[in-house]
């Protein structure tokens, strides 16, 4: 029973993998790197990745405390439903083709001839990788980022990603001879194709992953806080609901209802409830009138 169950599980995991396709795996892909070279690269990469993770974790800074404003937003629900449907479809595709092992891949796409809409789902997932963080940054509050000059989170995440590749993905790839994320052999389109392709990948990914993350944050901050047609708040860390409530109490133009005095006719802001409930100050007492008569000092002068 155990052997039958293991055989069925193995068939579900990688029974549908076509090892005849270059870069998918198999004995030729497994033998691409000598065992000694693979071992040395793994030891060095894991050591550097641990340094990345430990340094980032020890220096990491936590953003300022923000009040979570619980509000049921239609956009967040739509994105949640879309992500759930895509993840479910991805699992269904892998089960149908008996390639469930590729679920472990951070990034994977098969040929469009192998399964309909697999390539389309691949691009939709990558587009959602840009849409979801941008939408969460738009909400702000608890969905915030570190300062642009703070690289601790980026380096810590990079170390975790590299450890996942060289320990988890490589271990499973060597065990089942399936090329998960090119850990056994390079892709046929790899510009660094050759025995040093993993060293080149480790170097350029260590540079471009943090840079791409920071570039995304810079672009998101520009469109959310500075570009007038799309700006919704003054600072990226502010909650968009709280910012909208504050902006509603600012003076607006009576003609176009903007916050600027563009039409030369500014309308005062509505008083806050606390200010309206405060009692009006008592009027100051009027000064006593001066006594009639001569000297102006309050005394009557004598006459001869």
> Do residues 267 and 251 lie in contact, with contact meaning Cβ atoms separated by under 8 Å?
yes
> Do residues 152 and 59 lie in contact, with contact meaning Cβ atoms separated by under 8 Å?
yes
pLDDT of 116 over the 70 cut: no
Query: Which has the higher per-residue pLDDT, 63 or 123?
Result: 123
Question: What's the mean pLDDT in 226-244?
Answer: 83
| Residue 105, both tokens | 């891949």
pLDDT of 9 over the 90 cut: no
**The whole model's pTM is what?**
0.74
Q: Torsion angle of alpha carbons 261, 267, 270, 275, nearest 10°?
A: 90
Question: What's the mean pLDDT in 279-291?
Answer: 58
Question: What's the mean pLDDT in 254-273?
Answer: 50
* Pick from 18-32, 140-154, 197-211, 229-243: least confident: 229-243
Please count the residues of the chain: 304
Residue 128 sits at the vertex; the CA angle it makes with 127 and 132, to the nearest 5 degrees, is 135
pLDDT for residue 56: 95
Q: Which of 100, 105, 155, 145 is nearest to 125 (CA)?
A: 105
DSSP class of residue 295? S
Distance of alpha carbon 46 from alpha carbon 108, whole angstroms? 23
pLDDT for residue 227: 92
pLDDT for residue 112: 40
| Residue 128, both tokens | 């959602």
Q: pLDDT grade, residue 292 (50/70/90)?
A: very low
| Residue 104, both tokens | 């472990």
DSSP class of residue 166? I
> What stretch of H or E contains 277?
helix 273-277
The tokens 């192998």 sit on which residue? 114
pLDDT for residue 219: 96
Q: pLDDT grade, residue 178 (50/70/90)?
A: very high
């Amino acid at each position: 029973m155990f052997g039958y169950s293991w055989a069925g599980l193995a068939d579900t995991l990688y029974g549908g993998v076509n090892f005849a396709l270059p870069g998918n795996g198999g004995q030729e892909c497994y033998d691409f790197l000598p065992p000694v070279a693979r071992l040395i690269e793994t030891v060095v990469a894991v050591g550097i990745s641990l340094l990345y993770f430990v340094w980032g974790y020890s220096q990491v800074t936590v953003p300022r405390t923000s009040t979570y404003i619980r509000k049921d937003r239609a956009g967040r629900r739509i994105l949640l439903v879309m992500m759930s449907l895509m993840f479910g479809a991805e699992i269904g595709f892998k089960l149908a083709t008996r390639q469930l092992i590729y679920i472990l891949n951070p990034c994977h796409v098969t040929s469009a001839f192998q399964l309909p809409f697999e390539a389309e789902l691949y691009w939709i997932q990558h587009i959602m990788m840009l849409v979801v963080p941008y939408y969460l940054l738009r909400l702000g509050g608890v969905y915030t980022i570190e300062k642009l000059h703070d690289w601790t989170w980026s380096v810590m995440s990079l170390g975790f990603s590299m450890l996942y590749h060289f320990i988890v993905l490589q271990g499973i790839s060597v065990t089942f001879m399936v090329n998960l994320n090119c850990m056994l052999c390079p892709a046929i389109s790899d510009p660094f194709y050759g025995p040093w392709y993993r060293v080149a990948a480790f170097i350029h990914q260590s540079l471009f992953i943090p840079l791409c993350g920071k570039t995304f944050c810079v672009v998101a901050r520009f469109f959310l806080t500075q570009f007038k047609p799309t700006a919704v708040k003054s600072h990226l860390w502010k909650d968009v609901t709280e910012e909208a409530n504050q902006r509603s109490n600012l003076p607006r133009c009576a003609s176009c209802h903007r916050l600027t005095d563009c039409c030369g006719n500014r309308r005062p802001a509505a008083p806050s409830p606390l200010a309206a409930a405060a009692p009006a100050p008592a009027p100051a007492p009027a000064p006593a009138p001066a006594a009639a008569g001569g000297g102006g000092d309050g005394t009557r002068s004598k006459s001869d």
